[in-house]
Amino acid sequence: MNSPKERDANINSMGYVLSTILLFISLVSIAQPTTPRIDSLKNELHKVESDSLRLRLLLNLSTEYQYLDFDQSKTLADEATALSEKLNLNWAKLRAYKQQSNLSTIRGDFLTALKFDKARLPLAIALRDSTNIADTNNLLGDDYINVGEYDEAYFYFTQSFRISRAIKDTLQTAIALHNVGAVFKELGQYDIALDHIELARKLGEKINDKDGLAYTFYEMGDIYLRNNKYDDAKETLLKALSITRERDIDILEPNIISRIARLYLRKGEFDKAYQYYDSSEMLHSKTKNEYGLAESSLGKGRVALKQGKFDDATNQILESLNIAKRINARTLEVECYRALSQLYEVRGDYKSALDYTKQSKALQDSLFNQDMTQKIFQDQLRFQTESKDLQIAALSETQAKQADELDRQSFLKNILVVVVALTVILLFSVYRSGQRRIRINKLLIEHQNEIKKRSLELEQLNQVKDKFFSVISHDLRSPINALAGILNLMAKGQITSEELPKVIKELQLQFNHTKNLINNLLDWALLQMDKLRIQPVKIDLRSMVDDNFELLNSLHIKEVKLINSIPEDTAAYADLNMINLVFRNLILNGMKFTEEGGEITIGAKVQDEELMVWVKDNGVGISPEIQKILFEKTSGYSTRGTANEKGTGLGLILCKEFVERNGGRIWLESEEGKGSTFYFTVSKFKEPVFA
């Protein structure tokens, strides 16, 4: 067995050999920056006299040189840019600025790329060139996502999608959809990201976009890596690398290699991780890509940290941090602060570790603030249904008018019934007044009390009506309108067969939300009107919970572990439908406020003549102030869940009503950040005794 010193020597030797090989390949490519096409273009450039043709040749040559000799490519692009501005040719400036943007992106200088893309957009608009407008919006989105401004990136990607779809540019549409998925990946919404990326892949297959497949596998591999699915990540990233090399997609190759390096780092295979980071660094050096070099340095620093080489780790991470600050790569800057915090914590310098943690947290909060994330999700809903905004608004106005008219008619009808009843009573009283004056007075008092009671009932019914229509207005209108918009699109044939599965999934989610909301509303309304009757039966609690788990799992609401700890043969005596609703609402409530990967446990035990049941989660918990009003009828308190789920506040009110009507009580225990436990009691089933 080799000693640690011998192993280090072997690792250094392997790294030296690999570095030497890559350096040789790099030097060969730099020493021979020529191809038959380059030679042909250079010959034409020496002969050309037309400025217009010279511009095209300069830009074509710059494109050919960009991965062979970056400096030469930049020189040619600068000459073309200066000539296009001197001649004030919009089409030429449009092409020259795009090449400058490409070169800046290759170099990792995203702010300069942003400057050229911003200059490009008004030129494309002036030329009324829809293809270039869509392309420029897409590149602007790329620039913003690279500097960590995800709301701006989302805006420009969706703009590109709308324009490219309007002009039926399938390739640009697929690219825009793919990039929208990349935004959601950075926000940690991996399911939404994969939906967009998969849809983009299907569009790409229609036009045989083989390059797009490399980008698809790259993004999917990165998502698997972030989810710690290492085998899937490795398989997918290696596919991306194979296609990239086959298709000569030079700008993507070092990024894939960097992700593979990160994969091996997480798996603890530090030798392989270092080799892949070294390969990525060599490729980025060819194009002087500062962002890529900084990312490679950070990766090497993390490898050194894992190997206990603290001085090397410090130097590498600080070098990466300096570059990240210089080029305003804020997401990379966050990663550097995290790495330095880990480094100083391992070295026992807890003060420095805390300082770097604070800097990382502050910068992270500025990048992923709640307002920005909420704005993106709001824009996403508009993005899905925007083509039908006017129809939806008109439908909403019609529904509101109909609801007001029904409300008015119902009110007049109730008043008329009361008036008629009072008239009959008064006439009857007058008719019998001669002989029974004392009795009439007594009856009048009774009738007055009855009128007060009816008035109170009318007021309560009016409150029920107001609450009912308020919920309909705010919680039902949006999903119903969205459903109507989608169905209208389907009726007009504006949804393709490729889009249909996604639309069906959206319809199912909207329907499930609306169905649950309507069920709660109707049950709540029946309770207020005292129309529900209790029909107690024997209930197998464990089977009921299993049925609810199976139902909720089939809806794919959220990846939360559901645990049924109720003992076998635990039987209650209560109304089956009411207790089933209590379980469903408490489980849904727990899922709403539990993060992905959390768990909900349901248990029960016997206490004297009743059963105590609990529903426990390890979610975000509830503050003491909210606990005080959670079950109040007049409150109807509701807040957004951990995945932005909506609610009406009726679920817990229903639970309280149903438990109490079955002779039980309900309460909760909760601590913020540690989860909540809801308890309720129900009568224990007793077997009948026959004489």
Confidence of residue 515 (pLDDT cuts 50, 70, 90): low
pLDDT of residue 465: 56
What six digits make up the tokens of 171? 């390739």
| 334-367 pLDDT per residue, tens | 889 999 998 888 888 888 888 888 888 888 777 6
- pLDDT above 70 for 399: no
CB atoms within 10 A of CB 368: 16
CA–CA gap between residue 317 and residue 336 (Å, rounded)? 6
Q: What is the pLDDT of residues 85-101, one digit of tens each?
A: 999 999 999 999 999 99
Q: How far apart are CA 320 and CA 333, in angstroms?
A: 8
Q: Are residues 500 and 482 in the same domain?
A: yes
Q: What is the pLDDT of residue 505?
A: 67
For position 566, what pLDDT does the model report?
A: 95
Q: What is the mean pLDDT of residues 378-384?
A: 50
The answer to whether 159 and 137 are in contact (CB under 8 A) is yes
DSSP-assigned beta bridge partners for residue 600: 562, 617
Q: What is the CATH number of the domain that holds 330?
A: 1.25.40.10
Residues 501 and 542 in one domain: no
Residue pair 144/156 in contact (Cβ under 8 Å)? The answer is yes
Q: Are residues 418 and 519 in the same domain?
A: yes
When pLDDT is cut at 50, 70 and 90, the band that residue 23 belongs to is very low
| pLDDT for residue 3 | 37
* Count of structural domains, the chain: 5
Non-local CB neighbours of 596 within 8 Å, separated by 6+ positions: 558, 559, 560, 642, 643
Instruction: For residue 51, tell me if it sits in a domain.
Output: yes
Q: Residue 683 phi/psi, 5° resolution?
A: -65, 140
Highest mean pLDDT among 270-279, 443-452, 492-501: 270-279
Please give the residue that has the higher pLDDT: either 634 or 565: 565
For the chain, the C-alpha Rg in angstroms (whole number) is: 34
Q: What does the longest C-alpha to C-alpha distance in the chain come to? A: 128
Residues 648 and 679 in one domain: yes
| For range 605-621, the mean pLDDT | 92
* pLDDT for position 235: 94
In a domain, 448, yes or no: no
Using the predicted structure, report yes or no on whether residue 15 has a pLDDT greater than 60: no
Backbone dihedral angles phi then psi of residue 128, each to the nearest 5 degrees: 55, 40
pLDDT of residue 451: 82
Q: Which of the four pLDDT bands, split at 50, 70 and 90, describes residue 427?
A: confident
Residue 34 has pLDDT above 70, yes or no: no
pTM above 0.85, yes or no: no
Asked whether the predicted pLDDT for residue 638 surpasses 70, the reply is no
In the predicted model, what is the mean pLDDT of residues 576-585? 90
pLDDT band at 521 (very low <50, low <70, confident <90, very high): low
| Residue 376 placed within a domain | no
Across 215-224, average pLDDT: 92
Answer yes or no: is 558 within a domain: yes
Binning pLDDT at 50, 70 and 90, where does residue 142 land? confident
**What's the pLDDT band for 617 if we cut at 50, 70, 90?**
very high
Regarding whether 547 and 658 lie in a shared domain, the answer is yes
Query: Can you tell me the distance from the alpha carbon of 138 to that of 175, in angstroms, rounded to the nearest whole number?
Result: 8
- With a pLDDT cut of 70, the percent of the chain lying above it is 78
CATH number for the domain harbouring residue 494 = 1.10.287
Label residue 605 by pLDDT band (50, 70, 90).
very high
Higher pLDDT, 387 or 230: 230
What average pLDDT score do residues 54-73 get?
89
Residue 390 lies in a domain: no
Q: Which of 202, 212, 195 is nearest to 503 (CA)?
A: 195
- 173, HSE (Cβ side, Cα atoms, 13 Å): 16
As a whole number, mean pLDDT of residues 204-215 equals 89
Residue 237: how many other CB atoms lie within 10 Å: 23
Asked if residue 636 and residue 556 are part of one domain, the reply reads yes
Mean pLDDT of 512-530: 64
Task: Name the domain boundary from 76, 109, 142.
Answer: 109
Model confidence at 232: pLDDT above 80: yes
Same domain, 604 and 677: yes
Do residues 316 and 301 lie in contact, with contact meaning Cβ atoms separated by under 8 Å? yes
Measured between alpha carbons, how far is 636 from 629 in angstroms, rounded to an integer?
Answer: 9
Same structural domain, 541 and 659: yes
Q: Which domain holds residue 148?
A: 129-199
144-185 pLDDT, tens digit each: 888 778 888 888 988 888 898 888 888 988 898 899 888 888
User: 48 and 97 in one domain?
Assistant: yes
Decide if pLDDT at 690 tops 60: no
Residues 515 and 552 in one domain: no
Mean pLDDT taken over the chain: 80
Same domain, 621 and 665: yes
Evaluate whether residue 122 is within a structural domain. Answer: no
Beta strands 599-607 and 561-564: pairing type?
parallel
- pLDDT value of residue 1: 37
Mean pLDDT of 667-676: 91
649 near 636, Cβ under 8 Å? yes
| Residue 88, phi-psi category: left (phi > 0), alpha (psi -120 to 50), beta (remainder) | left
Per residue in 458-482, pLDDT tens? 775 566 556 555 555 555 665 677 6
| DSSP letter string, 352-376 | HHHHHHHHHHHHHHHHS-HHHHHHH
| Burial class of 197 by CB neighbour count within 10 A (0 to 12, 13 to 18, 19+) | buried
Average pLDDT on 552-564 reads 80
**Residue 632 or residue 387, greater confidence:** 632
Q: What pLDDT score was predicted for residue 686?
A: 85
In 472-554, alpha helices (H)? 477-491, 500-528, 541-554
Higher pLDDT, 514 or 18: 514
Is residue 510 included in any domain, yes or no? yes
Burial-class residue 491 by CB neighbours within 10 Å (0-12, 13-18, 19+).
exposed
Half-sphere CA count of 41, side-chain side, radius 13 A: 19
Residue 514, domain member (yes or no): yes
Whether 137 and 96 share a structural domain: no
Among 486, 503, 528, the domain boundary falls at 528
Three-state secondary-structure class, residue 347: coil
Residue 396 corresponds to which amino acid? S
Report whether pLDDT(380) > 70.
no
Say if CB 396 and CB 477 are below 8 A apart: yes
